[in-house]
Amino acid sequence: MISETTHWPSPAKLNLFLYITGRQENGYHELQTLFQFLDHGDDLAITANESGDITLTPAIPGVALEDNLIWKAATALQKQSGCQQGAHIEINKVLPMGGGIGGGSSNAATALVALNYLWQTELSDEELAAIGLKLGADVPVFTRGFAAFAEGVGEKLTKASPDEKWYLVVRPNVSIATVDIFTHPDLTRNTPKRELATLLDSDYGNDCEKIVRMLYQEVDKQLSWLLQYAPSRLTGTGSCVFAEFSSKKDAQNVLETLSDNVSAFVAKGRNLSPLHETLAKYRLAHKQSI
């Protein structure tokens, strides 16, 4: 066990495109989507210990410990590996809940990847992804740590290398439940499946965007405003919208024109997750200290 306190990024993600290609008998939607990480997100300070307990601070208002995805991930790793160790986890929460940029899923993945290292349980990437999939469809993307084209219900991942652009991400002051979008009768559910090469060479879109803009005036208003400046769209099924730029300066210039009551940030797209860059640094430092 590695017992010193370590710091781990829990990055945001964008769905650069999202198409719904069908619906299974169990109600799950089949999709094609492209995930890319951002160099912006939460931070988890983790201290492994011998207690066997998982403790978290600060508590998230309205979320019981047993319902917290970080706690669920840590206890699932304990069970899968037979590990008797525990940990205290302090989270610096930056990413919004219900924003569609992967906050909870990223937190769960960071807990899995970090504790697998700190507890020295040595589960493979595939085993961590399998645990993650039980916690949420997006968790395996974060545990694997590379930008990915996802198919099926999101579990079939193919490594991808989209352009690493600069993004202005804006969150209107609404929280959107995924279930409300996926159960809407007007949602497009029959977009034709296409090869990744074809999709990468086409204009990107999001089949959920029409429904979200129809239901949430704030999102529609913000997206209309962004489209004046750059290609812009919804990410995932959440409330965040993003505009893409070729330079940080261009993105910052538009950010500065936003009203003060809107939550927004500028970030760079990353095809290798900052989480996995951190893991590599800790592994190297540990190896050199032996």
Block residue for tokens 């803009």: 213
Instruction: Give CA–CA dist 143/113, Å, rounded.
Output: 6
Residue 273 predicted with pLDDT over 80: yes
Helix extents (H) in 82-154: 103-118, 125-135, 139-144
What is the phi/psi pair of residue 73, to 5°? -65, -45
The helices-and-strands tally (H runs, E runs) of the chain is 10, 10
Residue 261 predicted with pLDDT over 80: no
pLDDT at 96 (0 to 100): 82
- Convert the pLDDT of each residue in 101-133 to its tens digit: 998 999 999 999 999 999 999 999 999 999 999
What is the phi/psi pair of residue 33, to 5°? -145, 155
Tokens coding 250:
């261009």
Burial of 66 (0-12, 13-18, 19+ CB in 10 A): exposed
Which of the four pLDDT bands, split at 50, 70 and 90, describes residue 177?
Answer: confident
pLDDT at 1 (0 to 100): 84
Q: Across residues 182-198, what is the average pLDDT? A: 95
Instruction: Give CA–CA dist 232/241, Å, rounded.
Output: 7
Provide the CATH number for the domain around residue 40: 3.30.230.10
pLDDT at 133 (0 to 100): 92
pTM over 0.85: yes
Torsion, CA 101, CA 105, CA 111, CA 114, rounded to 10: -60
Catalytic residues, by residue number, are 13, 138
- Convert the pLDDT of each residue in 131-175 to its tens digit: 999 999 899 999 999 999 999 888 799 999 999 999 999 999 888
Structural domain tally of the chain? 1
- Convert the pLDDT of each residue in 47-90 to its tens digit: 999 999 999 999 888 889 999 999 999 999 999 999 999 999 99
Instruction: Give CA–CA dist 95/74, Å, rounded.
Output: 20
Percent of the chain with pLDDT over 90: 82
The parent domain of residue 93 ranges over: 1-290
For residues 168 and 245, the answer to whether their CB atoms sit within 8 Å is yes
Q: What is the mean pLDDT of the chain?
A: 94
Tokens coding 52:
């066997």
Which of the four pLDDT bands, split at 50, 70 and 90, describes residue 286?
Answer: confident
pLDDT at 58 (0 to 100): 96
204-238 as b/e: b if 16+ CB within 10 A:
bbbbbbbbbbeebeebbebbebbeeebebbbbbbb
pLDDT at 140 (0 to 100): 94
Residue 100 predicted with pLDDT over 90: no
- Convert the pLDDT of each residue in 11-60 to its tens digit: 999 999 999 999 988 888 999 999 999 999 999 999 999 999 999 999 88
